[in-house]
A and B are shown apart, each in its own frame.
Chain A
Amino acid sequence: MLVKGIKSRPVYTGLGIDPYARRHIFTIEGEGVEAVLDQVKTNGSAFLATSEFLCVGTATRLEALKPHDLWTAPTIPILLYRLRAMLQNAKMGLRVYISGTEGFIGQVMQVAIECGIDFNSIRTEHRGSEARRVQCVHCKGITDDVKTSPFICTHCGLSLLVRDHYSRRIAAFQGVCIDAEEPGTAPAPELMFP
């Protein structure tokens, strides 16, 4: 069931600053800060003057760079709420960047796509843990930060195998009951996505 290089999973090719964008919106989670610092190292800091940062987690090292704007949200949903409002009023010439865990990237993308931004235009870089956001195909509930397979669905309690099949629309991998053939025979969870 695990498919290496599965076509449904996005490829995160890096933040690569767009020199033609008039406005840069960065959404950054945790270790995603490092991806921005790497950009400054290779491309210089000129882009910061037209950059707005929406962060979750500590962003003091970004603040020190004095970008045009920086705001820190206590949780991801709060960041997404503000982002949605910003994108709905956005004009041409805007570029969205995302860096952090895969679950964070997926959720920001989801909002951006819903606001009419072409997903191909979004620059992404995966930083931090390999943990996955997984949707239970049976009850449709989503569990964040899944590090093991199988894991227990936080909504319906089934023991789920984590597949590589990924939905951009749902921003999650697919979880399928692992012991459906013989209930009660689920193997012990194994650390797969540290």
Chain B
Amino acid sequence: MNIKFRQETFRHDFTARNSPENIKRFPFPFHEDKYMYSVNMEPHVPAGPKGYAFENMIDVDEHYVAEMQDRALVLKEDPLRCQALPHMMQAQWDTLELLMEHQAANYPDHFSLTKNGDQWHWINRPMNIDQKFTFGDASTLPYEPMEYITRQSQGDFCIVDQRDGQLWMDAGMVTTQADWSLDFDIGMNFMEWHGPVPLAHQLGVFDRALKFLLNLQQGKPVRRLNWTMTINPRLDTSPENYPKWAQDRLTVTPENVGNKVHLRCELQSLWRLPRSNAILFVIRCYLIKMEELVTVPKWARRFHRVLRDLPPELVDYKGLTRFRPMTVEWLSKFDDGAPTSSGIFPD
């Protein structure tokens, strides 16, 4: 598969957008016309129409190169977005192996990995990287293994360690997050880092999710979809930079909703790592403009209904208060009240 990588920006002039083909592969997060938190995990196996975001388990798309450039800019301004506690080195190597193997196997036109014992050779053509190194010897790479490979992989990454019947967020590369801080949360356990989430604790969602994850098996990854909304195609909506992006929320007008307002979907996958027994949590972020979303009639109808009927606690937590009414109004033009088919895929 030969992907044509876009030249675009996720800041300042915000030139990022989706090609018509890319719209069709958007992982739309709503399987019905309403939304509430649940333990929404399913096996991470290929699904959907050909070319959908679930085709390859580590997805690479047309935004790859531009997203990696944006990540480099974030890290230059704020190195604290990438941190690993000292006991996570083995899990870092596990992560490097997983991401290199998947990208090389599924996108041979763009990546290749050759192994000769512990002598590895990695080629990343879109980024013009050719690296020989010794697996297990961090001094043979220009960065620590997690940072090295996640500077070349789309999505945010958390590596969680498993101890005392808990999961601990002990490493991560987090530059495209929906308003949470790795620097603040690193070292916390599953219940602690989910502390700010409303309603879900009381519903027992986190108790059940944790129990499930503690038994996650190697070779049987799982996925879930999470979502929020972002003004402009901005990847870095971190709390650190909140004063830089909060004002965007006030720039939405009835005329520019279609272009400014984005549905932000996180395709999250969870992988048991072989040597360290840690879990890799991949948070792959997809942005779609309202005017792109409504080109799929089913998604337009459904998102209108979801957003209109969203519980107030979620509106507040996701930071939608300022622009939700205007967006619901705009989307209503695309909802004729017709029934929608179940499931997330376009009709």
* A57→B193 CA distance, assembly (Å): 34
Interface of chain B residues 231 through 251 with chain A (CB within 8 A): 239-243, 246-247, 249-250
A168 and B240 within 8 A (CB): no
The number of A-B residue pairs with CB atoms under 8 Å apart is 71
A182 and B247 within 8 A (CB): yes
- Tell yes or no: A84 within 8 A of B by CB: no
- Tell yes or no: B49 within 8 A of A by CB: no
Q: Which residues of B lie under 8 Å from residue A9 when comparing CB positions?
A: 195
User: A124 to chain B: closest CB distance in Å?
Assistant: 16
Which residue of A135, A166, A168, A169 has the most chain B CB atoms within 10 A of its CB atom?
A: A169
- Tell yes or no: A163 within 8 A of B by CB: yes
A140 and B80 within 8 A (CB): yes
- Tell yes or no: A88 within 8 A of B by CB: no
Which residue of B80, B187, B243 has the most chain A CB atoms within 10 A of its CB atom?
A: B243
User: A141 to chain B: closest CB distance in Å?
Assistant: 13
* A6→B241 CA distance, assembly (Å): 24
Cβ-closest chain B residue relative to A170 = B184
The one of A3, A164, A168 that contacts B187, using a Cβ cutoff of 8 Å: A168
Q: Which residues of A lie under 8 Å from residue B250 when comparing CB positions?
A: 181-182
A177 and B184 within 8 A (CB): no
Interface string of A3-19 (1 = CB under 8 A from B): 10011110000000000
Cβ-closest chain A residue relative to B183 = A140
* A138→B245 CA distance, assembly (Å): 13
User: B240 to chain A: closest CB distance in Å?
Assistant: 6
A6 and B195 within 8 A (CB): yes
B187 and A177 within 8 A (CB): no
Interface string of B180-205 (1 = CB under 8 A from A): 01011111100111111010010000
Interface of chain A residues 139 through 165 with chain B (CB within 8 A): 140, 158, 163-165
- Tell yes or no: B322 within 8 A of A by CB: yes
User: B231 to chain A: closest CB distance in Å?
Assistant: 11
A180 and B185 within 8 A (CB): no
B246 and A174 within 8 A (CB): no
- Tell yes or no: A70 within 8 A of B by CB: no
* A138→B80 CA distance, assembly (Å): 12
Interface size of B by CB at 8 A reads 26
A8-B187 CB under 8 A given contacts A176-B239, A180-B242: no
A137-B246 CB under 8 A given contacts A7-B201, A8-B195: no
A165-B242 CB under 8 A given contacts A7-B191, A181-B250: no
User: A167 to chain B: closest CB distance in Å?
Assistant: 5
A3-B195 CB under 8 A given contacts A174-B181, A181-B246: yes
User: B65 to chain A: closest CB distance in Å?
Assistant: 29
Known A137-B184, A165-B184; 10 more pairs at CB < 8 Å: A8-B188, A137-B181, A138-B239, A167-B187, A168-B187, A174-B181, A176-B242, A181-B322, A182-B247, A183-B243
Q: List 24 A-B contacts (CB under 8 A).
A: A1-B196, A3-B196, A6-B195, A8-B191, A8-B193, A8-B195, A137-B184, A137-B239, A138-B239, A138-B240, A138-B243, A140-B80, A140-B183, A163-B196, A165-B196, A167-B185, A167-B188, A169-B188, A176-B239, A180-B242, A181-B246, A181-B250, A182-B250, A183-B243
